Amino acid sequence: MSKQQSSPVLLREDRGAVAILTLNRPDKLNALSNELIAGIMNALNSIELDSSVRVVVITGAGRAFSAGADIAAFHKHMQAGPADAIMHFMRPGHQMTRRVESYPKPIILKKAVTVRPEQESPHLLTTVIG
């Protein structure tokens, strides 16, 4: 991979009936850029048609699941005007949220929580949608 190429923003690993999607922008705390949103939408579309996959797990690389919207990208769209920001930034995010909420297969959002050694056991923060 050359210096100009970057890692894919979304990784997919299938483990039996489970598709694991990993948000892969750890340097940006997995903030949702248009590229990442498109990757999630494409992956969900593909997984929906795959009868061997029964559940989707979405997790984040690095120390954060996701910081939410990529504000730097949003700012660029705002400079072009509010209509541009709505059309090219906010709308894709809303469409992805609706897609996740209405997805026909269970989606589990998962991020391990860092635990200090003096704590009794590791904890897992998991939200189930669907």
Give the rounded distance of the alpha carbon of 56 from its chain centre: 11
Contacts of 100 (CB under 8 A, 6+ apart): 44, 107, 129
Residue 120 has pLDDT above 60, yes or no: no
pLDDT tens column, 21-47: 999 999 999 999 999 999 999 999 999
pLDDT band for position 113 (50/70/90)? low
Inform me whether the pLDDT recorded for 129 exceeds 50.
no
Paired residues of 13 in beta bridges: 20
pLDDT, tens digit, for every residue of 56-83?
999 999 999 999 999 888 888 888 888 8
Distance CA 103, CA 96 (A): 10
Query: Is residue 119 predicted with pLDDT exceeding 60?
Result: no
